[in-house]
Amino acid sequence: MHLPAWRFGKPYESIERTTLVHFLSGEPVAEVSQVGGALVGRDLGKAARAREALLAFEPEDIVERLQTAGNLYAHGTLSVGGTPQSPADFVRQQSATTGLPESLCRANMQKNLFVLSNMDRMLDALSRGLPPEILWKGWGREQRGVVVSYQAQAPVLGLVLPSNSPGVHTLWLPVIALGVGLVMKPGGQEPWTPYRMAAAMVEAGIPAECIGLYPGATDVGAAILASCRRSMIFGSAKTVEQYRGNPRVQVHGPGFSKILIGDDCVDDWERHLDLMAESVAANSGRGCINTSAIWASRHTEAIAAALAERLGPIPVKPPDDPDAKLAAFTVPGAAKAIWGQIEAGLKAPGVSHATAPYGERFVEGERCGWLRPVVAHCDSPDSEIAKAEYMFPFVAVVRCPQEQWLERIGPTLVATAVTDDAALQARLADCTDIDRLNLGPIPTTRLDWLQPHEGNIIDFLYRSRALQVPAPAAAATA
Amino acid sequence: MASPSSVADKPPVFAVATPAAVAEARTALDAHVVEMMAWHFHESTGCPFWLDYARSLPFDPLKDVKGFADLRKFPPFEDEWLRGGPVRRWVPKGLADKPMYVFETGGTTGVPKSRVNHRDFRTDYEMFSDTLPEEFFPRGANWLMLGPSGPRRLRLSIEHLAQHRGGICFCVDLDPRWVIKLIQKGWMEHLEAYKQHCIDQAITILTAGHDVKCMFTTPKLLESLALALEKRGTTIHKMGITGIFSGGTEFTPQWTRFAVEELLDGAYMTPTYGNTLMGLAASRPVIPADGYTIAYYAPQPRAVIEVVDFDDPDAVVPYGGTGRVRLTTLTHETFIPGFLERDEGERELPYAKYPWDGISGVRPFRALAASTTVGVY
């Protein structure tokens, strides 16, 4: 199987290819064409055509086609790189090159399907009920009778996608429905979702010329970021720092998501063990929305011990085992290096390792490695490991007086606040370190798709600005 | 995980050198080596560094080196020796009264490596000039040097090449050390702005009526120039450029194919591989039938490239095999035996025009690649 680049609808087979291999057997799974940054830069010179192609359709028509695409993506056999690919093929291929268990690949497929199937409701929620034609035309009259203008800031959204979790793709699925094209650099190990999704969209009647797929090295990412007026990049804390304050780039890095158990509820902590376990370990702990720290002012050692008892025994299983819950680290040496870092962190003063009684955490394979869940207990938020996040089920249970939380929690993508204390809820609602706030026992991994995630994509792609027309013309648009 | 896949083995589509031609070239190389030993290790002509170094050797280069193979007797050359002074220790006594240049390489941080030159760079580029097709590099045409300037050999070499061919060379300022610092600092916007600044200078020259037909540039600047011109509704070829001489380790078959198909608009491009220590290696014609393979041949006998085993630098890999670049420079101005370069590639069969080993697929040496910042100039 060969995945060519997709130059706004035209397949392009590069002389340079990488071979994706099965993480266990080393067997080749697919070849992927590799292109250079200049080729992307050249194509992006014609990016305006992508939006023009979309605007030739009615917005409702595009939404319907996306819903069809969702169905094809989840259930159809699609031609991907000229090869028929069934949903089962897709799951096997994705698991083979990412190390994610097949059951988790299937679960992520369902997430993407859900988003595409509910695109009309999502758009309505994200746009706060804005008539979709306003995004198409750039201005129009709202239901309340006011002329509003939303100006597209870019004809395409550039995406530098990661390999770590197929779940992140839900973020860009609404873009086409907003009248904006897609230019993607697929993750090196996970080209599968972008390719299958693009195939499903084109099959469903989305114009092929509004999607670009450019697999390649870092220069492709650099070209996308340099040439697209709006881009999304997924990366490390360093990447986040590099693009901080750049209005053209929305950067998604570590989440440092947390569960905060208020003083009013912490004596009943056992009631919330399911919530904590799911938040830490769902999707093999790979996401930025997985909980990496649980904060409380007391009972933290008991919480850590109970969580360790729940998560510690989770074994490494073959990827096709329906009970497999742990993904492999497919980059050689990665799991070992991470474990070395964690081991050092666990030796720090005030830190203890709650999962120690449940066997070795680092499991070495022939071509890959696994890390079994780790629960650390920290006497205070001062230790390094209290601020860590890793791509597997890892959590630090941190003892910290409630009155110190807000000044000490730092950036938090998702915070679940288990508290009925209205004053604490109000302070958390005001805390700008927190992005998504769950008031009540909702797992950090459970997303309400009708809410914006890491900023509203419409605010990123469109600018609400003033537009005035003489009264008769305004009336005519009504 | 991903691993690079190689182009499938196939019979050569280029004219492979005859065994007789290869043997003749080898004989000439051996004779040249003996001549160079007599020059570099004679008290009256050698440079202070080598004369001093020879005293520590367990053999006598004047008597015991009878051909290229005997250069293996020298321990590997360490390029660290080229850092710092006094620079005169590298000037052969036989050239002591000649005007000297010093050219630098690296130097983003710390003391750069340097090589003295009297007229080696002129000789190298005059020889290279003979490989350029007249049709695309017409005599008398003016040149544009869109590449690194400052204390670099390339800047003067291109100007000399233009002059040697009867033309005048226009230049831009480009500081590659600043470029590398921008990359290391992650200041990508500044990097883009600096690149744009260089491209703007180039476009100003190309639009000023100077009848520039030939150009040196690096692959990345060629891309940027072509894309900038495309935005203006024109191309490199339409701006009057017929021949481009380009250099850098970033050349890949795919990049070359992309350039030929989408950037050059019919202008001719010849890739080269070179550096301050070696000089300049010309390439075999790069053609679609050869999978856009870029194979370089050193200017033997003045310089020799060998592709050697990663673990045993004295063992040359089989044809088609992958190994590290081992460089030997043998001119009256410079003697560098068996220097392990920071590049790797595949060993290529001798070509009719250059009847000695070549190298293709040149790229940064894998063990060093992670710590090497490839510039974008």
Residues 6+ apart with CB under 8 A from B45: B39, B92, B93, B94
**CB contact B255 to A (< 8 Å):** yes
- CA Rg value for chain B: 21
Residues A161 and A225 sit within 8 Å (Cβ to Cβ): no
CA distance B317 to chain A (A): 23
Distance, first Cα to last Cα, chain B: 31
Contacts of A7 in chain B (CB under 8 A): none
- State residue B3's pLDDT score: 35
CA B303, B308, B312, B315 torsion: positive or negative? negative
Residues A111 and A125 sit within 8 Å (Cβ to Cβ): no
If one counts the domains in chain B, the total is 1
Distance, first Cα to last Cα, chain A: 52
Q: What whole-number distance in Å separates Cα of residue B6 and Cα of residue B361? A: 10
CA distance A332 to chain B (A): 9
Residue B147 lies in a domain: yes
Cβ atoms < 10 Å from Cβ of A314: 19
Query: Between chains, do A38 and B252 touch, taking CB under 8 Å as contact?
Result: no
The CATH number of whichever domain residue B45 belongs to comes to 3.40.50.12780
Query: Which runs of consecutive H residues, i.e. helices, occur in A45-86?
Result: 48-55, 59-75
Structure tokens at B242: 């017929």
Backbone dihedral region for residue A59 (phi beyond 0: left; psi -120 to 50: alpha; all else: beta):
alpha
The residues in B 275-314 lying below 8 A from A, measured between CB atoms, are 291-292
Query: Between chains, do A31 and B2 touch, taking CB under 8 Å as contact?
Result: no
Q: What whole-number distance in Å separates Cα of residue A119 and Cα of residue A70? A: 10
Domains of chain A: 2-253 (3.40.605.10), 257-439 (3.40.309.10)
CA distance A473 to chain B (A): 36
Query: Between chains, do A14 and B254 touch, taking CB under 8 Å as contact?
Result: yes
Query: Between chains, do B227 and A38 touch, taking CB under 8 Å as contact?
Result: yes
CA distance B130 to chain A (A): 31
Ramachandran angles phi, psi of B115, nearest 5°: -135, 130
Ramachandran angles phi, psi of B244, nearest 5°: -125, 130
Structure tokens at B197: 């600044």
Q: What are the DSSP calls for A373-411, one per residue?
A: -EEEEESSTTSGGGG---SSSEEEEEE--GGGHHHHS--
- Please count the residue pairs, one from chain A and one from chain B, whose beta carbons lie less than 8 angstroms apart: 72
The residues in B 348-377 lying below 8 A from A, measured between CB atoms, are none
Residues 6+ apart with CB under 8 A from B130: none
Residues B53 and B75 sit within 8 Å (Cβ to Cβ): no
- State residue A476's pLDDT score: 53
Supply the DSSP symbol for A138: S
Q: What whole-number distance in Å separates Cα of residue A336 and Cα of residue B330? A: 47
Q: Running along chain B, 377 residues long, what does each successive block of 10 average in pLDDT?
A: 42 91 97 98 97 96 97 92 93 96 82 92 94 95 94 92 98 92 86 94 96 95 95 96 85 90 95 83 87 91 96 95 96 95 93 95 78 45
Which of A56, A90, A82, A25 is CA-nearest to residue A181? A56
Structure tokens at B28: 């000439």
Which of A330, A319, A271, A259 is CA-nearest to residue A295? A259
Query: Between chains, do B5 and A330 touch, taking CB under 8 Å as contact?
Result: no
Residue B376 lies in a domain: no
The interface predicted TM-score of the complex, written ipTM, equals: 0.81
Q: What whole-number distance in Å separates Cα of residue B149 and Cα of residue B172? A: 7
SS3 at position B246: strand
Residues A474 and A147 sit within 8 Å (Cβ to Cβ): yes
Pick among A16, A163, A229, A331 to test the B interface (most B CBs inside 10 A): A16
Number of H helices, E strands in chain A: 17, 24
Residue B309 lies in a domain: yes
Half-sphere exposure of A43 (CA within 13 A, CB side): 30
Contacts of B223 in chain A (CB under 8 A): 36-38, 41
**CB contact B263 to A (< 8 Å):** yes
The residues in B 189-228 lying below 8 A from A, measured between CB atoms, are 192, 220, 223-224, 226-227
Q: What is the pLDDT of residues A158-212, one digit of tens each?
A: 999 988 766 789 889 999 999 999 999 999 999 999 999 999 999 999 999 999 9
Contacts of A41 in chain B (CB under 8 A): 223, 227
Query: Between chains, do B262 and A242 touch, taking CB under 8 Å as contact?
Result: no
Structure tokens at B113: 């490596």
Domain holding B125, by residue range, is: 19-369
Contacts of A17 in chain B (CB under 8 A): 5
Cross-chain CB nearest to A222 (options B188, B254, B263)? B188
Residue B194 lies in a domain: yes
A330: nearest CA partner in chain B: B1
Specify the pairing of strand A394-399 against strand B268-275: unpaired
Chain A residues touching chain B at CB-CB below 8 Å: 14-21, 23, 31-32, 34-39, 41-42, 45, 97, 188-189, 222, 225-226, 238, 242, 330-332, 367
Which of A386, A395, A393, A391 is CA-nearest to residue A372? A393
Supply the DSSP symbol for B6: P
Residue B107 lies in a domain: yes
Cis peptide leading into residue B86 (ω within 30°): yes
Residue B157 lies in a domain: yes
Positions of chain A with pLDDT under 50: 478
CA distance B183 to chain A (A): 11
Query: Between chains, do B262 and A330 touch, taking CB under 8 Å as contact?
Result: no
Contacts of B5 in chain A (CB under 8 A): 17-19, 31
- CA Rg value for chain A: 23
Residues in chain A: 478
- State residue B370's pLDDT score: 54
A21: nearest CA partner in chain B: B1
Q: What whole-number distance in Å separates Cα of residue B224 and Cα of residue A175? A: 29
Q: What whole-number distance in Å separates Cα of residue A49 and Cα of residue A63? A: 19
Pick among A3, A14, A15, A160 to test the B interface (most B CBs inside 10 A): A15
Residue B99 lies in a domain: yes
Query: Between chains, do B5 and A32 touch, taking CB under 8 Å as contact?
Result: no
CA B89, B92, B95, B99 torsion: positive or negative? negative
Spell out the long-range contacts of A464-467 with Cβ–Cβ below 8 A and sequence spacing 24 or more.
A464/A148, A464/A149, A464/A150, A465/A149, A465/A150, A465/A151, A466/A149, A467/A138, A467/A139, A467/A147, A467/A148, A467/A149
Query: Between chains, do A18 and B253 touch, taking CB under 8 Å as contact?
Result: no
Q: Which amino acid is at A227?
A: S
Residue B264 lies in a domain: yes
